[in-house]
Amino acid sequence: MNDLARLKWQCRRGMLELDLLLMAYLEGRYLVADQAEKDHFSELLKLEDDELLAVMLSNQTATDEEISTT
């Protein structure tokens, strides 16, 4: 499985809202992002769904400073 296919699989979450947000980023921005941004995205995908949704909707700051700068 290549990296993009792995990321697409990781973007499939338990919440439709997350699926839509993550896939929109992956398809629209990820391929032109620099390596640091790609690394931040991979780290974001490690968060639990509820925490990830809160971070993406700016209701909460990510616990990792590297992630919160994304």
Domains and CATH numbers, the chain: 3-68 (1.10.150.250)
Sequence-distant (≥ 6) Cβ neighbours of residue 9 within 8 angstroms: 1
How far, in Å, CA of 43 to CA of 23, rounded? 15
What average pLDDT does this structure show over 59-69? 56
> Quick one: CA torsion of 40, 67, 56, 46, rounded to 10 degrees?
70
- Both tokens of 46, joined, read 């490690």
**pLDDT tens for residues 4-31?**
899 999 999 988 989 999 999 999 999 9
**Res 3: pLDDT:** 87
pTM of the model: 0.75
Mean pLDDT of the chain: 85
